[in-house]
Chains A and B, each alone.
Chain A
Amino acid sequence: MKKYSKALLIGLIISIISLAIFGITMLVKNGISGSLESQYAAERWQSDSGEVRYGQISCFIAEDAGFTFAQIPQIEQSIETKLTEDSYAAPEGAKLFLSSGFSETEQEYSVGSVSVNARTYCTGSDFFLIHPHVMTSGWYYTGDELMESGVILNEALAFKLFGGINVAGMKVTMGGRECVVLGVTSGPVSEKEKKQWTPEDPADEPCAYISSDFSMILDPELNVTCYELVLPNPVKDYAIQIAEECVSFPEGKIEFLQNTDRYSVVNIVKNLSSSSERVIKTGTVYYPYWENAARIADRTCVPLAFIFAVTAGVVAVYILFVISILFINKEKLIKSGILFAGAKISEAKLKLKQIHIKKRRKDNEENNDQI
């Protein structure tokens, strides 16, 4: 044993350093991935009681797959049926799952004589629960408004049309229809996603959001390119299985992605092996801006995954080394262990006896005093 003590000591020091590096890398990883709010919708949706775990699934659909907003209610119905069969039900006044489609188009917005063409995102009513945005005025649509003709402008578009950003409640014409400005946003909460939202100068890129109900009125044939779900996920891969069963398209037209635990240590180490394949795009699927930000983060996490793997490996090797040494010297160790245990037991017995003698002596003195 003594001849291995130096190796053990060096190994211990290296393991401690590896654990420290692991911890620092974990902090860096959390810093990179923690700010991508769109990836943590399930964690936010899950209530504090935490009885049911939730999972977030993203489905990226090719534009030529012909998936429109009109098909979404049917998919939601089939999801609800499957969840009901598995005995999941929403508490009173709450929703059981979140569902939101996403598409992009171009529309002309005009106020008086001012007209601006802007990129228009058509989204489901749960979109902003999954992708929180910073609202500088007003608020976003939630699906229970009486009129569906509400729009959300970004600051650039609001400024171009009205000359200011505190314009919630004002009217704007879009697609020949009069709409109400529900709110003005400065963009996603996450700075990384915001960079992908307006890659050029944010002050100069007008864009707007409208609800899917409104977009169906303007263009019923508009294709949905991304469909997101937040479903109960009590066991591994339950949510993604439900999504794959209910959202069915030919191969190559759809990609499924489980956002929950995407940036866990295990997952990013697993993704090391497929990191080169993920760079290549083989289908006709289109990724929205938040997914682009997430993929950049994925790429940034590749070296971190390598560090995780190495440091974990070092610690594992050291532990194995220690175990093997112990195994080799097991007889000596057992013997010395037994001796050590025996000495300890004797020592304990002696102490106990001493205590008894002291007590008896004290009692006798007291009795004598009394006599």
Chain B
Amino acid sequence: MENEAKIKNRGWIKNAAIIFLTVMLVLTFFSNTILNWSLPEVSGQYAGYGQIKTSVTGTGTVKANMNYNVVLEETRKIESVLVKAGDIIVPGQTLFTLEDYENTELDQAEQSLEEMEFNYQMKILGKTDDTETQSNLEELYETLKELKEDRVEAVKNTDLVKGSEELVKIYQNERDKYTQSVSELEQQVSELTNGEAADSAELAAKLEELEVAKKNLEAAEEILAEKNDIYEEISGSIDLSYSAALSAYESAKKAYDDAYTELEYMQEDYDALVNSSESYEKLLKKYQDAEKELEESKSMLEAAQSEYESAKTAAQNAYSGNIDSDSEYNKLVEDQKIYDAALKEYNEALASGDPDRIQSAKDALDALTDYSKEISALNAYRNAKSAKEEASDAVDIAQAEFDEAKNNLENASSATDSEITTAKRNLDRQKQTVSEYSKALAKARAELNQATTDDNRLKEAKDAVTAAEQSVKAYKKESETIQKELDSLLSDETKRVNALLKEENEKLKAVTLKYDEENKKLTELQSKVTETPDQIDEQIKTTEKQIETAEKEAIKQEEQGNKEDMIFNLELERDLAAIEKQREKVEKLREKTYDMEVVSKFDGTIAAVNVYSGSTVNAGDILAEIEIAGKGYTLEIPVTTEQSRAIAVGDRVTVDGYWWANELKLTVSAIKPDTSKPNEGKIVEIDIDGEVTNGQTLNVSIGERQSSYNLVVPNSAIREDADGKYILIASAKSTPLGSRYIAKRIPVTVLAKDNINSAVDAGSDYGYEYVISSSTAPIEDGSQVRLVKS
């Protein structure tokens, strides 16, 4: 039972171990995949050169640069409206008609004046008997009435004249302006025809360029002439051409080489003759020496032989063993050493006086044998033996040398003296010839050097001439090209100026026509005005004074009456004063115009009509707004102070979302403070050239500036924390399981930014690695990441 339990336990453990190992194996194989699966995936890009576009946008309403408001100075009722918004009008054109003026106030005032005058007159008539005075008064009253009617007419005509005079002035100014413009343009055309282009910077620059090119050409031609002269001079000064000098040198060299070779051969033959004579004597001497040497070595060998014999005998007598054995000899030497050491000890013992020591040393010494004689005899024998062997070797060597000397002597031959003398004579003659050829060669070499130098100078001069000719050609071509460009520019400029001139002429013609028409109208109106309202007022005042005088006269006559008359007179005075007051009131009411029509004073377009038929208009109300023609349009948009820094006067402005945007030309004309928000904002004023209408709303973009930067990254790559802004790069690290990517923090400074990208400065820490712009999970510096598979 126990065994079974044990077996079961072992089996369980085994299974668990197998499972564990299997799991570990799988995890190991798939560790990379598992690890990657858990890592956040990142995407990004390599930062590099790019551009940042900034622009300021805004919306504004178009306004005409000059508007005119049509107003009335009294309360009137509109009978009909003859224009609508958008209509183009001319000066004098009727815009509105007004209903008959029922000025009840004036009517009442006139009526009460009439009543007062009538009552006054009735009073006077009832009282006075002076019919003459009365008829005089009636005449004066009649005259006064006529004068007042004349005044009304005069006021109306005067206003028309004023309006017409204003228009004439405007047209005159415009005519003068166009006249001046035309004369300036004509002046420009004449200058251009004459080839002058003082006003155009481009043409002036081109002319200057042409001048410079012509000067360069002249200078190049001068240099060419100079170089040609130098070439001619050098060519004329050369006596001998290079080719002739070269062939002369080559001939001289050949002759010299041949002579020298011959000399060498003759020298060899001579030396051989001399050597052969010398060498025979040497060989003979050597033979004799070798023979002598042989004899000496033989005799020495004999002596050594006898020495050997005697030493051998002595050694045999001294030593009984083998005298030739080295081992026996060495043993003897060793034993002798021991004996010598014992002897030395004995001597020392004797010297010390120690009897025991002496005795023991003596005993030791007695036990040994002295082999000095044997060794001495053996040494003598050995020496004699080696001497004999050396002498034998010497004899062998001497014999060999003798045999060689003898052989050489038998083979040698000897030249005669006469042969040597002849050879010497020939040799000397050849040497003389070689010397002469050598001098000729040196001369030819010198001439060749001179010819080479001259030839080089000539070549240089030729090259200089060629270069100068090419330079002249190039400058000529440049001049021609610039001339062609200048002619083309002049022609274009002339065409442009002519077109402008034609336009200005037409405008001048139109404005002159308008001026003449208006002038004519003014003359007609002026002719209608015979007396001015002031003159008529004077006459009215005079007549009234006369009336007053006459009335006073009549009153005076009554004053002489009784008390009732006095009261009557007082009443008359009071009535007269009241009449005067009423007259003044009536005058004031009459001074206003009684126009039935409202006419336009200017050319333009109706921007707005604020009234309708039947409406009552109070004094000062605006009936219509007119955009005066030819004065342009503007648009204003508010911007912040920071936005205003990105804009400059003169910047082009583009319109967004407008079909006819390409036909409009918008330019920033001014940047001014916003009075409603001082220090917080500015107002940008934009001039519009093109077809727009007053009140139209436009969306504009100003100053699309594009700046280039070395490092541009997407905005999503810029991160920020308490230490400032930074980007994360994916830095690769090699591991046994493959490359791993770690997010690394690089601090940056943002230089510029638009809606998509930012330009940054990363300092020296950034080496253009992969910048992380987005990730599937939050990451930070040091996080391990995986790159998105592309």
Contact = CB atoms under 8 A, between A and B. Distances in A.
B722 A45 contact: yes
A168 B722 contact: no
A17 B749 CA distance: 54
B716 A92 contact: no
Interface stretch (A138-146, A266-274, A283-291, A324-332): A138-146
A93 interface: yes
Interface string B552-565: 00000000000000
Nearest to A50: B722
B489 to A, nearest CB: 41
A139 B749 contact: no
Nearest to B718: A142
A146 B59 contact: no
Interface in B592-622: none
B724 A93 contact: yes
A94 B722 contact: yes
B714 A47 contact: no
A168 B721 contact: no
B351 to A, nearest CB: 37
Interface string B743-784: 001010110011110000000000000000010001011100
Given A171-B656, A177-B59, 13 more contacts: A44-B721, A48-B745, A90-B722, A94-B722, A138-B715, A138-B756, A145-B753, A146-B643, A150-B755, A168-B755, A168-B756, A171-B657, A180-B57
A95 B721 CA distance: 8
A40 to B, nearest CB: 9
Contacts of A142: 715, 718, 720
A169 B756 contact: yes
A290 B127 CA distance: 106
Contact of A180 (B59, B720, B755, B782): B755
Contact of A92 (B643, B657, B714, B724): B724
A39 to B, nearest CB: 13
Q: Nearest 4 CB-CB pairs, A to B? A: A94-B724, A139-B715, A47-B723, A93-B724
A49 interface: yes
Contact of B724 (A91, A135, A150, A176): A91
Given A49-B723, A52-B722, A149-B57, A178 B755 contact: no
Contacts of A37: 778
Interface in A245-293: none
Given A46-B721, A47-B722, A138-B756, A132 B778 contact: yes
Contacts of A235: none
B725 interface: yes
B634 to A, nearest CB: 20
A286 B57 CA distance: 35
Nearest to B716: A139
A49 B781 CA distance: 11
A171 B700 CA distance: 13
A146 B721 contact: no
Contacts of A44: 721, 778, 780
Nearest to B773: A139
17 contacts: A37-B778, A44-B778, A48-B781, A54-B722, A91-B722, A94-B720, A96-B722, A132-B778, A138-B716, A138-B756, A146-B55, A146-B753, A147-B56, A168-B755, A171-B656, A171-B657, A178-B656
A94 B719 CA distance: 11
Contacts of A83: none
B661 to A, nearest CB: 14
B54 interface: yes
Contacts of B749: 93
B699 interface: yes
A302 interface: no
B646 interface: yes
A12 B285 CA distance: 128
A135 B716 contact: yes
Interface of A: 37, 44-49, 52, 54, 90-96, 129, 132, 135, 138-139, 142, 144-147, 149-150, 168-169, 171, 176-178, 180, 182, 189
A96 B722 CA distance: 6
Residue picked from B643, B721, B745, B774, most chain A C-beta under 10 Å: B721
Residue picked from A52, A90, A138, A146, most chain B C-beta under 10 Å: A146
Residue picked from A145, A168, A176, A178, most chain B C-beta under 10 Å: A178
A145 B755 contact: yes
A147 B57 contact: yes
A231 to B, nearest CB: 11
Interface of B: 54-57, 59, 642-643, 646, 656-657, 699, 714-716, 718, 720-725, 745, 747, 749-750, 753-756, 774, 778, 780-782
B750 A45 contact: no
Contact of A46 (B55, B657, B722): B722
A147 B644 CA distance: 11
A189 B722 contact: no
A178 B699 contact: yes
Contacts of A145: 753, 755
Contacts of A171: 656-657
Nearest to B776: A134
Contacts of A149: 57
Contacts of B782: 48
Contact of B778 (A96, A178, A182, A189): A189
Contacts of B747: 93
A146 B646 contact: yes
A63 B718 CA distance: 35
Contacts of A150: 755
A185 B714 CA distance: 16
A288 to B, nearest CB: 21
Nearest to A178: B699
B50 to A, nearest CB: 15
Nearest to A42: B722
Given A139-B715, A171-B656, A146 B54 contact: yes
A275 B118 CA distance: 103
A315 B56 CA distance: 67
A37 B778 CA distance: 10
Contacts of B755: 138, 145, 150, 168-169, 180, 182
A132 B774 CA distance: 12
A178 B774 contact: no
A92 B745 CA distance: 17
Contacts of A146: 54-56, 642-643, 646, 753-754
Contact of B657 (A48, A90, A94, A178): A178
Given A48-B780, A48-B781, A146-B642, A139 B724 contact: no
Nearest to A94: B724
A177 B697 CA distance: 11
Contacts of A169: 755-756
Residue picked from B54, B57, B725, B754, most chain A C-beta under 10 Å: B57
B721 A139 contact: no
B723 A178 contact: no
Contacts of A180: 57, 755
Contacts of B721: 44-47, 94
Contact of B723 (A94, A139, A144): A94
Nearest to A171: B656
A133 to B, nearest CB: 11
A178 B59 contact: yes
Contacts of A135: 716, 774
A149 B637 CA distance: 14
Contacts of B754: 146
Contacts of A177: 59
A32 to B, nearest CB: 17
A73 to B, nearest CB: 12
Contact of A95 (B656, B720, B756, B778): B720
A54 B723 CA distance: 12
Contacts of B699: 178
